[in-house]
Structure formats: C-alpha cells, structure tokens
Structure 1
Amino acid sequence: MYISLVCLILVQGIQAQILDKSWKDLVTDSDTQWYASMEAREVAENVLLYQRDIGGWPKNIQMQKPLTADEKKELMDLKLTAKGVTTDNEATFQEMLFLSNIYREQPNEKYRAAFIKGLEYLLEAQYPNGGWPQFYPLKKGYATNITYNDDSMVNIMNVLKELKDDSGFYSIQPADETLKRIEKAFDNGVSCILKTQYKQDGILTGWCAQHDEVTLEPAMGRAYELPSLSGKESAKIVLLLMSIDSPSIPVMESVASAHSWLNRVKIEGLREERTYDDNGKVVNKVMVEDANAKPLWARFMELENNRPFFCDRDGIKKYSLDEIGAERRNGYGWYTNEPKEVLKKYDRWVEANNVIEKLKAKKANPIDPFNVTVAKDGTGDYSTIQDAIDNAKSFPYEKITITIKNGVYNEKVKIYEWNTHINLIGESKENTIITYNDYFDKIGVGRNSTFHTPTLSVEANDFTAKNLTIENSAGDVGQAVALSITSNRVAIVNCKLLGNQDTLYASGEGKQYFKDCYIEGTTDFIFGSATALFENCEIHSKKNSYITAASTNPSADYGYVFRNSKLTAADDVDEVYLGRPWRIYAKTVFINTEMGSHILPKGWHNWSKPEAEKTAFYAEYNNRGKGFAPDKREPWSKQLSKSEAKKYTLENVLGNKQKSSKIAWYENL
C-alpha cells in the first residue's frame, strides 16, 4: 500500500512537471531518458491521435495534456478531416521532431510511419513556385500567402535540409526516392526566398512576413500585420541561407545584402521595459531611452524607407508604440533581437565560403561577357544595370548585349564614353522600367544642374536600347531629364520615355534614331542639338507648352525630323507649340504626322528671338489632323514641296556621305 502510494505520488509529480512545460519546451528540452519512458509513450499516443490523415497537425495544442475518452473519440472523428492543419506556430514541425526523438529511443514503426506521413504533408503543401502557405489544404484569405511569419516556412525548410543532408538530427530517414523529392523541394524553396527578397531603389533588403503566392509581392496578414519588411522573420531566413553548404552566388548576394540591410535598420539606444501582474502576465510595455541598450530591430518596417510602425486591430499605422491600445501593445512582439545572430555569424560565414572573392569574380567574369543578364531577383549575372555596364569590356570589337528582366530598376544609369557597342534589351516595354527622380533644384549645382538629372545617360557611340521604359519620376518640378544622349549612332526602339519638362535630351553632334517610341512631357520635352529621326512615334503633351527646343549646329544638314508619327495630348491640353529655338539655328521638321487639336494654328514660337526667324528652319509636309493648319502657320516657317520632302530619308538623315555595302547601323533594328 505504501509503495503504491509513493508510486502514485511520483507519477503525479512527473505528470505535473510535463504539464507545467509548454509543448515546445517538452519536445526540445526533454532528455533521452525521458523519451525512453512510459510517459513519453503516452504522450506519443496523443500525438498520433491529433495527426490528421492528410499528415499534418493543428496548432497551439498542448499534446502532453491527458485526454478523456470523449476527447479521444472526437479526435478519431476528426482524422478524416483537415480541420486546423497547419505549419503556423511551429505546428507539424514540433510533432515531427517529437516523433523522431521518441523513435530514436523507442523504435516503434507507428512513430516512423506518422513522421513520414507528416513529411509527405509538407511536400504536398508546397506551391510550384517554392513557397508554402500558412494552412494546407488552402483556406481563404491571407492564409494562402507564402508565409515566413513566425518562421513557418523556415521551419519546414530546416526539416528538409536536415533530411537531405543526412545530418543525423532526425532519427528517421526517408526512402531514396523521397529524398530526391526533398532535395528538389528545398531548392525550390531557396529559389522562392531569393525571388521574394524585397528591393529598395534596386538594392536587396529583407523579407516581409508574408508574400502574395502569385505575384510574390509583400502581402497583408491580419489587420495589424500590414505589408512591411520584418526584422524578425528576415533574421531566420538569412540564417537558413547561411547554413547552406557551398552556397551559390545568388545565395551569397542575398545574404550579403540582407546583412547590410540589418545593419542599417538596427535600433540603438532604446530598451523595452515591461510591467507584470502577480500571475506573470505583461500588463504594460514601454520603450525607454538607454544608451547602453543592446540593438533591437522592428518587427514591421515601411517598405519604402524602413521606418518602424505599429498597428491596432483597426489597421491604421502608428509610429510610436504608446499610440496603440494596451491589448495589441502588450500582447504582440513589436521588437526583436533575433538579427543579432546574423551579425554574430556573418564574418565567419564570409570567410568560410570565400564570399568576397567569389562575388568579385562573378561580377568581373560572367560566363559570356558579350551576353549578360540583369535580374532584380538575383537570378541573372547582375542585379543592377549599372553593375552590368561597369563590368563590360571597354571599346569592344563586337556588340555587348545586356538583357534586362522585368522589374522596376530604381537607379541612375550611365553609359560611359568607353562603353561602346552596348545593347540594352528589356524583357518588355511595359514592365522593364528604369526610373529615378533627380531634378534641377534637387541637384542644385548651379545653372547647369539640368544636365546632372538624367535617369539614363548615354555618352558612348553605337548604343541601342529596346523594350524599355525610361522614366524621370520627380514629377512636375522643373527640369528633370529621363534620357540624355550626347553620342553618335544611337537607336532607341520600342521604348517609353516618361517625364515632364526636358524628358529627352537628344544632343551632341551625332545621329540618333527613335523608332516606335512613346515620348511624353510638358515643356521643351525633346531638346538638344542632335540630328535625330523620330519614326512612328507618339509624342504626348501633358501641359500647354512646347514640344521641341532644338539647338541644332549651324553646319548640320538636319536637326529633329518627325516622320509617320502622332502628336497627342492630355484631355485638358489645348495650346501646344511644335517647337521653339533653344539656339537660333534650330531645325525641326514634321512629315506625314497626325497632329491633334492641341497644336496651335501658328505652330511655332520664336522664343522672343526675332533673329531666329531668319536662321531657324521649321518645316512640315503632308501632315494631317485638327492640329495641322498650314495656312495659319507662322510665315517664317515652311511647308515643304514634294521634292523637298523626298530628301528626308533614313539614309540622308542618319547615314553618312560615304557609300558602303555594309548594313547601316539604323537598319534591321
């Protein structure tokens, strides 16, 4: 009797100990002796009961809690359903770890079978793009997003990595065929991670807690979980990438960029202070200044500028923790110190993998230096356009083609004088966008500030751009150039040039060809001294002003020639001049061009330079539309005769006087 009573007390004591622990602590902190016990077998029966036939488990369950007969029956009835099955809050991952730990000490086949079934669930739940949803089978709403939140996807990836690497961490090893699937799933997961890494102004940063499963863009979770960069989730993603043996160049670039970003956004001099009630529950959180505080990172940061923010359940951003209600302020982790592990391990990782040398070599030695690819997601030879140009051969003997994948490249790009024979080829005109926002007052270096504003500057001869949008996004704030060209034999084909004042600076003594382009702006938005032919282009005025401001060299036979083109305007625009002379020898001609009603009958303006009426050459031929009023044009402009118009051919405008049997630079574009 005494012995039985002692045993009962001991059993109750042990049971109390495991009930006092969280399920996570029980799984991870229990020693091998406990996993070999009868008590562990009893907990294992609960784990098996909670597993649905699809293979996964529900979340937030204290699996060690004893079950009544009715509860066991209810769980048996739920097995055929997928109710609540998820990888959120470490569900499924923790149960698989438990089964592995007990199988190591008590190798029962039913533990192994349940583990393998859980593994199959993870493999089945993966999207074709490599990501995992929060719930599978899929639930409506944000649960379908690719979920890095609370390290859900990273936990899955770590399971797969341990198994494919045969590390011994798990006591259960799948069949060879399954291992091949695991390896493929892991690689796809890494690809998804690289594709979802967010870029600010063309620079890789971190990750959002959730990303749209189709577009891969940052996505919203709950009402207070707005699309944002996450210090917490990004940390575990980087640590996963750093654990990969023999990492690829894209993985190295991803880690290096994320490390740099985490350094930039760390918060110093701030400490979280908590107040607890008698039960140990947090009843108040405040942030206090503390010069000796260890670095912190915000859980949510704005995508554009990394500014930390906070939210109540109303989804309205606040920029101070004390601005939100007690329930969300005290019940949510708004700050984290997890990135400290990335900073701690980074230098050792760089050294162990020879990262600096490999990244330098990659930039300097692409596989084919005459055909390289730029991709924002790190899958190309370069992730920025300027890097590709800077590493191109100087004065090459053959064309260098730089293919640019779809994306918004927020960068200033310069084709230097020695970068001759470069082709910039976008994946699509609508979705391959080079943009920047410099403007005259922002540059502020004096009267010539305009010429420092271009988004894309071309100083090299024999340059071609195709299928691109080139934009100055500064807005209507004065002079702001999108594209500047000061060189010879330059072709811009099937491109959109977007801006306001001074959109296109087509200048220099060379020849330029704009074919099948859309060019928009407000004032003098095509200006400069080049000989330039605009063929089959749409020229769109956004304001009552002037289209061209040529400054043609007096010795040039031709200036700006618009042929077979179309002049359009915004709905409220109705007074636009074809051009005015920036310099008094300006030459501008429109041939076979459709002119909208926004073009003023007088057509041309002398820019308050009466002498320009004698020296400028402004002419038209065979135009059409409501804006073509030849009888009302300024008397000092000219209507060409048919024989005069015949001189404005491709060969005459863009060629040279030396005959050659070679295909001309402006042909076959």
Structure 2
Amino acid sequence: MKSKSSASVFSLLVAALQVCFFLLSVQPTYGLGGFPVKKLSRKTQRSLAGNLGGGVDYSSALLIVVSQKKGEGDFSKVQDAINAVPVDNKNLIFIRVLPGIYREKVTIPVEKPYIILSGRNASNTVITWNENAGATGGTYFCATMTVLASDFVARFITIQNSYGPGDQAVAIRISADRSAFYSCRFLGFQDTVLDDSGRHYFKNCFIEGAADFICGDGQSIYEQCHLHTIPLLNGAITAQKRLSAGEQTGFVFINSKITGAGLMLLGRAWGPYARVIFALTFMDNIIFPQGWDNWNDTSREKTVTFAQYKCSGPGANSAGRVPWSFELSDKDAAPFLSSSFVNGEQWIKKMPTRLTRATNLIPKNG
C-alpha cells in the first residue's frame, strides 16, 4: 500500500510540474513585425491554458430567442436572455434577436463567455441607449453595450448611443479578449466604439461618429469596414492608446472605406505609442492633409506608429502628411494584413451549424 501511495503522490507532482512549466513557458519574445510581446498575466495564462484543453463544441449551440412580440421569443429583452446564461458557461450560446428597437443597456458579464448575439439584418435590429460620460461617472460607464466576457460574437445588429454631440457617449465598450463582429452597425458621435482591451476582429461593419469614434487600446483588425464621419470641428476617426513599445496593440484597417462630410484627422495619439495603420483603404476628400495629431505632445512623434499602405481616393494623398507618419513597404505591411495580427487563426471560428433550443435556460412561462 505504501508503494502505491508513493507512486500516486509522485504522479500528482509530475502533473503539477507540467502545468507550472506550461505557464512559465509564456515568456517575452518578439512577434509579428518584430514588435516585442508583453508577458501575459497569470489570469490570461490560465485562460489560454483552459482554451488549449478545448471543451467547447463550436459546431453546435444552444438557442435562445429574443423578440418584442408576445409569444414569439423566449425573452423580450436582450439583457434578460444574457442573464439566463449560466455563470462559467461552457456551452456555445446563440441568442437570436428578432427585428425590433430594443431600448436597453446591455452587459455581457465576464463570467459568461461563448455567447453569439445575432440579428438577421442590422438595419432593423437595433439596441439603443442614450447615456453620456458626464451622467454616468466616466466614459467607461456610459456604453449602450459593454462586453466583459471572452469569446463573444455579434452579427447583423445595430448598437447605438443616441445621446448626440457634446460629451463622450459610447455605443459599445469591448474590454475582453477574442471578440468578433460581423455586419454590425455602430452609431454615435464621440467615442462610438471604445475598443478598450483584448484581441478583436471586425468585418463588414459600419461605424459612424464625429470625434475619436474608434478609440482605446485594443489589438484589432477592421476588415472591409465602412467608417462614416459626421462633421464636427477638428474631429478624428481614431484615438489609439498604446502605452508602451512592448504592447502588441493597435488598430489595423484593411480594404475599408472612409466617407462622410467635413474634415477629419485619421487619428490622434491618445497613448504615447499609439499604433494605427490604414491599408488598401479608400479615403474620400474629407481628410485633413496632415492626417494625424500628436495629442499636444511632440515627444509622441518619436514613438507613435501612424501609417498608410496603398490607400486610394482623394483623402489618401500623403503629400501633406505630418513627417512622422509614413507609407509602409510591402515587407513592413505584411504582418498586419492577415488575421495573424490578432492571432485569429487560434480563435476566430465559423458559425455553428446546429442549433438546439435551450429549454433548460428558458422560463416555463416564457
């Protein structure tokens, strides 16, 4: 008996050491484009370790339906459907939002990952609210939708902050890793999309605003997106907040287009190492010739990465650009032109092909 017990203890020690070696193996290194990769926090390491083990079936999902018409759905509010998702959820949850204007503030809590929020047409499926930063205690608290959980997807839906000009009024705040958005519309004036933190992928989305309307320190790709500007005095499309050379964060726009009215900057350096790249993007005649702003800090001109790559249209003319921005070569642009910039090959998934009603999550009188 003593021999078997010792062997059992030894096996447990070996298993524990293997986990420790895995966690310690995530060390600072040099990644895409030669930029140093920051060391991951222990919390992030545990999250990655958990995902390496699988456990989530991406081919199927549990279905919840939201509708404002009585008897047509399981819930009449989007937030009620999200509240029904179990804490520490391990199943893919597909929340189908039927057409309607949903006047509510929505939060995806950190403990509820693997949610897909899907309409059928963004033009008639709208989540809207109208709070501003001054009324809620700050920019981070006024968002119509706040995403705190990892592995979130939204499709074919409009998210709007209808407050209007005069203060920060966020349509969506994304403070979570591995979020994807397909054919969505984001409407606001200032800080429309607070792309706060984590890796994100936007495809075929419409984003409208007037000042810093894509902002934050996310590591994000915007592919085939339409950025539409509303004229206000000296507005900017982006305000990226990269804080150090060691961060992999930045905004990359690929095969997108910029339209609107008035004159806009491509971006302002919210952070001292802000990084924004427009690649293969059409720019209408609404871009200030200088293109970029240093946030009233000339020292940032030495550390930011503001660049274009083979952009087109009258607003893409680089002749008047600030001297501290540049045109990327084919070689320098390559690391930013695929989903590998956000490690998308690891987490961007196809939509599930099988949906099963989540009867255990739906109220009996629903």
Report TM bin, short chain: 0.7 to 0.9
Which one of the candidate residues 230, 254, 257 is aligned to 1:566?
257
Deviation of 1:601 after TM superposition, in Å, equals 1.3
Give the gaps of 5 or more residues in structure 2: 1-59, 352-366
**1:525 alignment partner in structure 2:** 213
Deviation of 1:553 after TM superposition, in Å, equals 4.0
TM-score by length of 2: 0.76
Deviation of 1:369 after TM superposition, in Å, equals 8.7
1:407 paired with 2:100, answer: yes
Which one of the candidate residues 434, 439, 464 is aligned to 2:127?
434
Query: Does the residue aligned with 1:481 lie in a helix, a strand or coil?
Result: coil
**1:641 alignment partner in structure 2:** 329
2-structure distance, mates of 1:667, 1:567: 28
Deviation of 1:409 after TM superposition, in Å, equals 0.3
Contact 2:158 2:187 (C-alpha < 8 Å) held by counterparts:
yes
Contact 1:369 1:392 (C-alpha < 8 Å) held by counterparts:
no
**2:17 alignment partner in structure 1:** none
- 1:458-505: CA deviation from partner (whole Å, max 9, x where unpaired): 000000000000000111131100000011110011000000011000
Query: Does the residue aligned with 2:165 lie in a helix, a strand or coil?
Result: coil
1-structure distance, mates of 2:343, 2:91: 20
Instruction: Give the residue type in structure 1 aligned to 2:132.
Output: Y
Deviation of 1:667 after TM superposition, in Å, equals 4.8
Query: Does the residue aligned with 1:423 lie in a helix, a strand or coil?
Result: strand
1:370 paired with 2:59, answer: no
Deviation of 1:583 after TM superposition, in Å, equals 1.1
- 1:521-564: CA deviation from partner (whole Å, max 9, x where unpaired): 01101000000100000001102410100002422234000000
**1:624 alignment partner in structure 2:** 312
Query: Does the residue aligned with 1:652 lie in a helix, a strand or coil?
Result: helix
**Higher share of residues assigned helix:** 1
2-structure distance, mates of 1:612, 1:536: 29
Instruction: Give the residue type in structure 2 aligned to 1:552.
Output: R
Which one of the candidate residues 416, 432, 457 is aligned to 2:146?
457
Paired residues for 1:80-159 under 5 Å? none
**2:240 alignment partner in structure 1:** 550
Give the gaps of 5 or more residues in structure 1: 1-367, 657-662
2-structure distance, mates of 1:397, 1:649: 32
Percent identity, aligned pairs only, is 36
TM-score by length of 1: 0.42
Contact 1:531 1:552 (C-alpha < 8 Å) held by counterparts:
no
Moved more, 529-538 or 623-632: 623-632
Instruction: Decide which structure has the larger Cα Rg and report it.
Output: 1
Instruction: Give the residue type in structure 2 aligned to 1:551.
Output: K
1-structure distance, mates of 2:271, 2:186: 24
Instruction: Give the residue type in structure 2 aligned to 1:665.
Output: W
Contact 2:260 2:286 (C-alpha < 8 Å) held by counterparts:
yes
- Give me the CA root mean square deviation: 1.6
Paired residues for 1:330-345 under 5 Å? none
Paired residues for 1:373-384 under 5 Å? 373-378=65-70, 379-384=72-77
1:502 paired with 2:191, answer: yes
**1:422 alignment partner in structure 2:** 115
Query: Does the residue aligned with 2:227 lie in a helix, a strand or coil?
Result: strand
Instruction: Give the residue type in structure 1 aligned to 2:69.
Output: D
Instruction: Give the residue type in structure 1 aligned to 2:332.
Output: E
Contact 1:531 1:556 (C-alpha < 8 Å) held by counterparts:
no
**2:34 alignment partner in structure 1:** none
Contact 2:253 2:277 (C-alpha < 8 Å) held by counterparts:
yes
**2:179 alignment partner in structure 1:** 490
- Decide whether aligned partners of structure 1 residues 558 and 529 sit closer, same or farther in structure 2, where only a CA change above 3 A counts: closer
1-structure distance, mates of 2:183, 2:311: 23
Instruction: Give the residue type in structure 2 aligned to 1:374.
Output: V
Contact 1:514 1:533 (C-alpha < 8 Å) held by counterparts:
yes
Aligned residues: 288
Query: Does the residue aligned with 1:507 lie in a helix, a strand or coil?
Result: strand
**2:80 alignment partner in structure 1:** 387
**2:342 alignment partner in structure 1:** 654
Deviation of 1:428 after TM superposition, in Å, equals 1.4
Q: Which structure is richer in relative contact order (CA contacts within 8 A, separation 6 or more)?
A: 2
Paired residues for 1:37-56 under 5 Å? none
2-structure distance, mates of 1:414, 1:384: 12
